[in-house]
Structure 1
Amino acid sequence: MIHLPDLIADLGLILAAAGFTTLVFKKIKQPLVLGYILAGILVGPYLDFLPTISDSKSIEIWGEIGVIFLLFSLGLEFSFKKLVKVGGSASITAVVKVVFLILAGYGVGKMMGWADMDSLFLGGILSISSTMITLKAFEELGIKHKKFAGLVFGVLIVEDLVAILLLVLFSTLAVSQQSAANEMLLSILKLGFFLVLWFLGGIFLIPTFLKATKKLMNDETMLVVSLALCLVMVMIAVEVGFSPALGAFIMGSILAETTQAERIEHLTKSVKDLFSAVFFVSVGMLIDPAMLTKYATPIILVTLVIILGKIIFTILGALLAGQPLKTSVQTGMSLAQIGEFSFIIATLGATLKVTSDFLYPIAVVAAAITTFTTPYLIRLSDPFHNFLIKILPKKWLDAIGRYSSGTQGITTLSDWKVLLKSYAFNTIIHSVILTAIVMLSSRYLQPFVTEKLINGHKGIIISLVASLIFMTPFLWALAIRRIERKAYTHLWLNKKYTRGPLVAIEFLRIALAIFFVGFLIYQFYSTWVALTIGLFLMVSGMFIFSRKLQSFYNKLESRFLLNLNAREAQNEQPEILPWDTHLAELTVAPESKLVGQTLIALSVREKYGVNIAMIERGKIMIPTPNRDERLYPHDKVMLIGTDDQLAAVKEMFEGSVNEHAEISFPKEDMSLQKIVINSSSPVFGQSIRNSGIRETTQGLVVGIERKGERILNPDSTLVFENGDVVWIVGNNKKVPNLLKPSTNP
């Protein structure tokens, strides 16, 4: 008789239950994640009257695979480049929200008499909002083009990285079973080191590999290669002491910077969906329905903390970051849920057996409830904002408005800030690379050479010389390379009292490079003679071959930057802007009435109060187009206006057939910026028309604040006065030139 393995039977049962529940949840228009969790409860070991899986260990393995591919897909949507560009507003909001919610979760746990580890894990579970649920809600509600959406996406990006950090810290705490500050600090430093190393190595190698093999990559091969890269990084992460989820997330974020990111995301979506379904079903299998009634009070309390805590602390963080009250409220009510990372943190605690059995089902049920409430809270954000406007004192509202306006706009950096920032970045990057080379040489290269190729003293010398050759370009960049020449020269020539600190910085750079050389040699020889000779030869070689090293390093840097910038950033997060105006991009549908018309005939500024900042036509960019420019099918038009104005003009772009115009965030070279006019400004005393702003900055004046009054869409004959605060949408590299004194060449 043929026997069917339990693994296959269990997988069939899981997918059958998941298929049935997801069809039901699709019919009632609820998130599919809830359907998967319900399917897990149905096939779990706690309901005897239904068929139950027989091999739970195998299902746990399937669930782990699901976590890997789920984090891989989140990494594909993350990208380090997006993290760098989300800006201070999203970072401050996310950090304030996470810190306060961890404290709130820990406090609530202790209030209910829970153990320290249960309370701490509860704080971590409550602190991270769900990227999947939020994006899905935004798509269903059609609000991706609204101003606050940019801040929400930025907060979610920062939270993804914070969640990875929490996984590492909680794993360390679980192993040590105590809050050892030294171990926590080492874990953070270790994570930072490997994140930088993996990012640099991945961006340098993987896009180059994909480009070289592009002609060989059909869909099947690309799928296999992508999954292989993911699992290889998973193995590397585990080897150095991190979780498999971290490795999958890192590889996804590296591939997100390549030109093949969309293709990889499309090809791996089916694999991710399958294993993610198994993971969420396995989450539901751990829920005992009897425990839900037993712990009904903690579930209700935790759910209230999630909803109220996330709304309050997100609003607080956004206000501290300088956002208007309306944007802060909309952001807070959009992030009042927990999701995939919360499940992973809860699973970590259960797997390491450091949390109680009741924590997992409480977290899952609270996540299910908050997932259900998310769309309704988003819809209620505008009424809630209007309610706050009515009940808050006018002094508070005025103070919030002044603080928000004062924290936005261009911030000029001094030469010292520019120089120190560049030097710090240069030091960190090359220190990580040099440390990695030393570790790899001592642990892998030297043993391989001496054991497999050349034994004894000669093998050690060959290993040392090879390591020094690899290190030389990066030592040169660390110690000798000139950075920010303009700022450095200005400080050296114009301010004599700064020469001492500049000389000290240069000596520090050289000393750090000498340290790394000594550190490498010390791994092979412990004698001072060998160390001194090696240092002398290395330093001499760096100065003698400085030009060749510079040329070689420039090639490495050019290759890295080429790979990093190969993919045009998509859905970039715009800076949060004044007054409730923001930038959005609409695509002209072929059936739209706009096709073939000139901008002057459309009169969108006069009719809707919307300004056209740029038109993208294929590879052609038309910044601040003139009024005789015509619109053609598939033109991407960058507009600036309020949510209501953009919603009104959006219908013109869509036409009568296309239901959803393609909306994304603006190109990185265009932004809305603030400058303050003074008597030395080159445009002082000139009218907008005669100032040459359109020609010199590719910019458009959209608003002026003068003596406490706001002038939106000012007339071109208006003359700039001293103290005017001018808002310009234009090239973010050229607008700052308006701050320079008119005497500058």
Structure 2
Amino acid sequence: MNNFSFLQDLAVVMVAAGIAALVCQWLRQPRVLGFIIAGLIIGPHAHFTFISDNESIMTLGDIGLVFLMFSLGLEFNLRRLMSVGSTTFITALVDVGFMFWLGFVIGRFMGWNTMESVFLGAIICDSSTTVITRILQELGQSRERFAGIVIGATIVEDLIAIVLITLLTGMAISGQVQPDEVMFRVGKLVTFLVAVLLSGVVIFRRVIDYVAKWKSDELLLITVLALCFSVSLVAAKMQFSLALGAFVVGAVIAESRAAERISAFIEPVRNTFGPMFFVAMGMLIDPQVVVHYILPILLLIAAIMIGKVVAGSVGAFLSGNDRETSFRVGCGLAQICEFAIIFAALGRTLKVTSDHVYSIAVSAAVGTIFLNPHLMRYSGRLMHAIDAVVPNSFTGNLSVYTKWYRNAFRGPGNPTIRAIVRRTVVTMIVNICLITAIFVTATVLSKTLPALVSIPEVLGGPPALYWLAGALLCIPLYVANIRKLGAMSMLAAEMKFPIDSTRPHAAIARALTEKVVFFAGIAALGIFTLMLSSALLPPSLSLIILLFVIAIITAVFWKFQIRLYGKVRLLLRDAFADQSQGTSDRPIPNHSGGTHLISVPVEESSRAASRTISQLDIQASTGASIIGIERDGQTIVNPAGDEIVRPGDKILVLGHKDEAERASELLAERAG
């Protein structure tokens, strides 16, 4: 290939994409649809040869995929994920789970092998955020309540799809589906994510913030692209995918102070290369295959549309929404696009699916993109038609369930406590991810590096040494999670049975709930650890001895572990100084028991006045945590490290009795 032929190919692709975009704009159809059809027209299966080197266009398509996923990562961040709420999580899990199963069943029904059926399940499980956002805007429905649930659910589904890409890549490479292989793959993924996240906090964000000070968009763009392609390359070298690396680094950079500025100048780059991905994917479609498999394609389109309407509606309804809202959510989810194409291309690239699987999958995606706007437009009429044939007794029972759910899970209860419970759960999940990364790293090292000290096989051999090292490193994380389990169990009991509740035996129920949540969490953490480290576990007797030693170390150095964890957490928290804060207009009630919540008033002469949370360093010095600040009738939940304490505030401190009292004394001290 010479330079002229490459420029000619590039010109053909850009002209085809431009014409497709104009036609779709005129017909009020998603532009993605036009890009795929344009690729079909100029592809190698067309009657006329437009492209001289298909491989060069495929390479441009890979670059387009990197920019698409990087942009998606920039739009995706932890605050956005936390804002979508439990309804969208439930809806997404039901939709993805049901559609994955349905795709596998359809694949087997059509005579496909196991791997092809698994890939088909992945192809049809994820709804497109890009497509539904555009459809909602064009129909003027983007501000309606169901639209927020749909968008939130697609965000969660995108995250699940990222994990599926990793798992399917590992399955395709190993050629088999084994539980231990899947667990190892998940652990490897968590290790990669933790490594990128820590690198992002410690290195990437600081580099980007430093470069951003020079006020040069060119310099900042080059830096961002260097990070993007470097992490994508590392992901590919680790047998993940380019899409995963680009998405993760985008999500990390989204937390930087220059995120909005980066998004602004990345957008035209994405708009240039993004269409090339869809055009390149369209070029892989064989029209003759589409004609030959037209019946399976139509079957798949019908299965996707009907299956997603049913699964999305059921998921939304189970999470407390009324019938009409749930049905409209299901209609919004009834389409697939970019991740379907990515999964189809992944199977083709890894040579685990036949060529016709790709053409069938992409053709089905095109069909759902075309039909979904019409389904959304007439969803109200369809709902009325369904109501006309469904017995009133059945719809009445559905309404009773909705009222019961809202009373049970959205009824009385302190919203500040709900917010604190959510944040505590997130922190515990982060700790579990770090534990996973440590044990997976220990497993990898035990297989690749010899032990520094010879260990007899009767004691477990070298793996036992790596298990012990991993367990010792995880002690601060386990201590933190045990403490947070205690706090969360108390708060969860308060949320379910408020202290001012008039229910009979509320105090007994609150105490029982607190104990059940705490011990269930401890048991789950222990079982998870044993499963995670199963490849390194020493024999039973050695394991008991090591656990006894670890228990003694934990008990003796308990406060040291608390302070160590507190200092590390403060360092990471300061790195996320722009962390969002939630507010509530209701104070948090006090409690008695193992975990204490104390409100400390701040006076003009107090040591805490006019100082930041980081400067007070309460968690590191006492073990207690500042979980909120009451100010002017509102509560700042989980204040950031740079939040300044003002005279007149009330600081909410959570910890065991001695920790909370010590923290109260420090905060109430007069400045001297």
Return the TM-score normalized by structure 1.
0.63
Q: Would you say the 8 A contact 2:126–2:339 is kept in 1?
A: yes
Question: Deviations 1:69-113 (Å, cap 9, x if unpaired)?
Answer: 111111122223333443322122112112222222222233333
Match of 1:367 in 2: 365
**Inter-CA distance 436–203: structure 2 relative to 1 (3 Å threshold):** farther
Q: CA RMSD in A?
A: 4.8
Question: Deviations 1:292-342 (Å, cap 9, x if unpaired)?
Answer: 222221121111111111111211222222221011111111111110000
Match of 1:605 in 2: none
* Partners of 1:501 and 1:405 in 2: CA distance: 26
Q: Would you say the 8 A contact 1:10–1:53 is kept in 2?
A: yes
Question: Deviations 1:23-69 (Å, cap 9, x if unpaired)?
Answer: 222222222112211221222112233x4212122222221122111
Match of 1:129 in 2: 127
Match of 1:34 in 2: 33
Match of 2:571 in 1: 559
The CA deviation at 1:130 is 1.0
The 5 Å alignment of 1:379-458 reads 379-408=377-406, 409-410=410-411, 425=429, 428-432=432-436, 434-435=438-439
Q: Would you say the 8 A contact 1:479–1:509 is kept in 2?
A: no
Match of 1:44 in 2: 43
* Partners of 1:88 and 1:276 in 2: CA distance: 32
Match of 2:483 in 1: 483
Match of 2:180 in 1: 182
**Inter-CA distance 318–4: structure 2 relative to 1 (3 Å threshold):** same
The CA deviation at 1:251 is 1.1
Q: Would you say the 8 A contact 1:333–1:377 is kept in 2?
A: yes
Q: More deviation in 355-364 or 188-197?
A: 188-197
State the secondary structure of the residue aligned to 1:199: helix
**Inter-CA distance 567–540: structure 2 relative to 1 (3 Å threshold):** closer
Match of 1:150 in 2: 148
Question: Deviations 1:382-438 (Å, cap 9, x if unpaired)?
Answer: 2222223332222222221221122230586999x9999699547514424644786
The CA deviation at 1:120 is 2.5
The CA deviation at 1:475 is 4.2
The 5 Å alignment of 1:279-358 reads 279-358=277-356
> 1:99 is matched with which residue: 84, 97, 100?
97
The 5 Å alignment of 1:230-241 reads 230-241=228-239
**Inter-CA distance 671–33: structure 2 relative to 1 (3 Å threshold):** farther
Number of equivalences: 551
Question: Deviations 1:432-452 (Å, cap 9, x if unpaired)?
Answer: 4644786899999999xxxxx
* Partners of 2:558 and 2:386 in 1: CA distance: 67
State the secondary structure of the residue aligned to 1:258: coil
The 5 Å alignment of 1:76-87 reads 76-87=74-85
Q: Would you say the 8 A contact 2:208–2:220 is kept in 1?
A: no
Segments of structure 1 that go 5 or more residues without pairing to the other structure are 448-463, 523-527, 570-667, 673-694, 699-732, 735-745
The 5 Å alignment of 1:97-246 reads 97-246=95-244
Question: Deviations 1:258-292 (Å, cap 9, x if unpaired)?
Answer: 33322222211122222221111111111222222
Match of 2:658 in 1: none
Kindly, what percent of the aligned residue pairs are identical? 32
Match of 1:14 in 2: 13
* Partners of 2:336 and 2:557 in 1: CA distance: 58
Q: Partner amino acid for 2:432?
A: I
**Inter-CA distance 100–21: structure 2 relative to 1 (3 Å threshold):** same
**Inter-CA distance 78–499: structure 2 relative to 1 (3 Å threshold):** closer
Q: Partner amino acid for 1:395?
A: S
Q: Would you say the 8 A contact 1:152–1:331 is kept in 2?
A: yes
**Inter-CA distance 93–411: structure 2 relative to 1 (3 Å threshold):** farther
* Partners of 1:164 and 1:284 in 2: CA distance: 22
**Inter-CA distance 505–171: structure 2 relative to 1 (3 Å threshold):** closer
* Partners of 1:85 and 1:59 in 2: CA distance: 39
The CA deviation at 1:179 is 3.0
**Inter-CA distance 185–16: structure 2 relative to 1 (3 Å threshold):** same
Q: More deviation in 306-315 or 402-411?
A: 402-411
Q: Partner amino acid for 1:428?
A: I
**Inter-CA distance 379–212: structure 2 relative to 1 (3 Å threshold):** same
Match of 2:618 in 1: none
Q: Partner amino acid for 1:289?
A: P
Q: Would you say the 8 A contact 2:103–2:117 is kept in 1?
A: yes
Q: Which has the larger radius of gyration?
A: 1
The CA deviation at 1:241 is 2.6
* Partners of 2:26 and 2:524 in 1: CA distance: 66
Q: Would you say the 8 A contact 1:419–1:487 is kept in 2?
A: no
**Inter-CA distance 93–9: structure 2 relative to 1 (3 Å threshold):** same
Match of 1:262 in 2: 260
Comparing both structures, which one devotes a greater share of its residues to helix? 2
The CA deviation at 1:350 is 1.0
**Inter-CA distance 280–503: structure 2 relative to 1 (3 Å threshold):** closer
Q: Would you say the 8 A contact 2:428–2:481 is kept in 1?
A: no
Segments of structure 2 that go 5 or more residues without pairing to the other structure are 452-464, 494-507, 587-631, 636-650, 653-672
**Inter-CA distance 196–89: structure 2 relative to 1 (3 Å threshold):** farther
